[in-house]
Chain A
Amino acid sequence: MNTILVVENEDDILFALTILLERDGYAVRTAQNGAVALETLEKHGLPDLILLDMSMPIMDGWEFSRVLDEKYKNKPPVVIMTAAADAGKRAKDIGAADWIGKPFVLKNLLELIKKTLSSAVPAPQS
Chain B
Amino acid sequence: MFVSNCLFGCLGALNWLLYLKIKKSNKLTLGGTQNSLERQINIKMITSFLIIVYLGLLNVVIHLGVYDSPLIYWGISVVVAAAVVYSIPGVITWFLLGLTFYPVSLFLKRNWFAAHAISLNRFQTEVLNEASYMGILLFIGYVVYLFQKRLSNTLENLRQSRHFLLQAQNVANIGVYSLDINLGKWESSTILDRIFGIDKAFNRSVEGWASLIHPEDHGFMLDHFQNDVLGKHFQFNKEYRIIRQNDDKVRWLHGKGELEFNLQSQPTKMIGTIQDITERKIIELELVAAKNEAEAALKTKATFLDIAAHELRTPITTLALLLDVLQKENEKGLAPSASIVIRFRKQVDRLTGLVLDLLDMSRLDRGIIVLRPERTNLVHFIKKCVEEFRFQFPSRRFSYVESDKAIEIEMDTVRIHQVLSNLVDNANKYTPTDSPIEIKIEDLPEMVRVSVIDCGQGISKEIQEHLFTEFFRGNTQETNRADGLGLGLSVCRGIMDLHGGKIGVLSELGKGSTFYFELYKKSKTA
A interface, CB within 8 angstroms of B: 9-10, 12-13, 15-17, 19-20, 23, 55-57, 83-85, 102-106
Contact = CB atoms under 8 A, between A and B. Distances in A.
B328 A104 contact: no
Interface in B282-329: 306, 309-310, 313-314, 316-318, 320-322, 324-325, 328
Given A12-B322, A19-B325, A20-B328, A85 B343 contact: no
A83 B317 CA distance: 9
B480 A55 contact: yes
Interface residues of B, number: 22
Given A10-B314, A103-B313, A16 B322 contact: yes
A20 B325 contact: yes
B479 interface: yes
Interface of B: 306, 309-310, 313-314, 316-318, 320-322, 324-325, 328, 339, 343, 346-347, 478-481
24 contacts: A12-B318, A12-B346, A13-B314, A13-B318, A15-B322, A15-B339, A16-B318, A16-B321, A16-B322, A16-B343, A17-B321, A19-B325, A57-B480, A83-B313, A83-B317, A102-B314, A102-B317, A103-B313, A103-B317, A104-B317, A104-B320, A105-B320, A106-B320, A106-B324
Nearest to A83: B313
Contacts of B318: 10, 12-13, 16
A102 B313 contact: yes
Top-3 shortest CB links A-B: A16-B321, A83-B313, A103-B317
A83 B483 CA distance: 13
A103 B316 contact: yes
Contacts of A103: 313, 316-317, 320
Given A12-B322, A19-B325, 16 more contacts: A12-B343, A12-B346, A13-B314, A15-B339, A15-B343, A16-B324, A17-B321, A19-B328, A57-B481, A83-B314, A84-B310, A85-B309, A103-B313, A103-B316, A103-B317, A105-B320
A126 B480 CA distance: 41
